Structure 1
Amino acid sequence: MIGTESLTDLYVEVQHFYARQMHLLDGGAFEEYAATFTEDGEFTHTPQQPPARTRAGIVAELNRFHQRFADDPVVRRHWFNMLKLDPLEGGDIAATYYALVVTTRPGRNVTIAPSCVVHDVLVRENGALLTRSRKVDHDQVP
Structure 2
Amino acid sequence: MTTTAARPAEAPYVSAELYAEVQAFYARQMSLLDGSDIDPVAWSQTFTEDAVFGTNMQEEPDVGRAAILESLNGGLKHIHGQGPVDFRHWFGMVDVQEQPDGSLHTRYYALAMATPQGGSLKIRGHMLCRDELVRRDGRWLVSRRHLEADGLPA
Q: Give the alignment's TM-score, normalised by structure 1.
A: 0.89
Separation in structure 2 between the aligned mates of residue 62 and residue 75 of structure 1, nearest angstrom: 17
Instruction: Give the drift of 1:52.
Output: 1.6
**Equivalent residue for 1:42?**
52
Q: 1:25 is paired with a residue of what secondary structure?
A: coil
Instruction: Give the drift of 1:78.
Output: 0.8
**Equivalent residue for 2:42?**
32
Q: Could you tell me whether the CA contact under 8 Å between 1:85 and 1:94 is conserved in 2?
A: yes
Instruction: Give the drift of 1:45.
Output: 4.4
Bigger fraction of residues in helix: 1
Q: How does 1:1-142 map to 2 (within 5 A)?
A: 7-26=15-34, 27-45=37-55, 47-68=57-78, 69-142=80-153
Q: Could you tell me whether the CA contact under 8 Å between 2:86 and 2:117 is conserved in 1?
A: no
Q: How many residues align?
A: 140
Q: Which amino acid aligns with 2:71?
A: E
Instruction: Provide runs of 4+ in structure 1 moved above 3 Å.
Output: none
Instruction: Give the drift of 1:99.
Output: 0.4
Q: 1:132 is paired with a residue of what secondary structure?
A: strand
Instruction: Give the drift of 1:46.
Output: 6.2
Separation in structure 1 between the aligned mates of residue 94 and residue 77 of structure 2, nearest angstrom: 30
Q: Could you tell me whether the CA contact under 8 Å between 1:115 and 1:140 is conserved in 2?
A: no
Separation in structure 1 between the aligned mates of residue 39 and residue 148 of structure 2, nearest angstrom: 23
Q: Which amino acid aligns with 2:119?
A: R
Separation in structure 2 between the aligned mates of residue 85 and residue 20 of structure 1, nearest angstrom: 17
Q: Give the alignment's TM-score, normalised by structure 2.
A: 0.83
Structure 1 residues without counterparts, runs of 5 or longer: none
**Equivalent residue for 2:7?**
none
Deviation string 1:3-24 (CA, Å, 9 cap, x unpaired) is 86x6111100000000000011
Instruction: Give the drift of 1:121.
Output: 0.2
Separation in structure 1 between the aligned mates of residue 33 and residue 146 of structure 2, nearest angstrom: 16
Q: 2:15 is paired with a residue of what secondary structure?
A: helix
Instruction: Give the drift of 1:115.
Output: 1.0
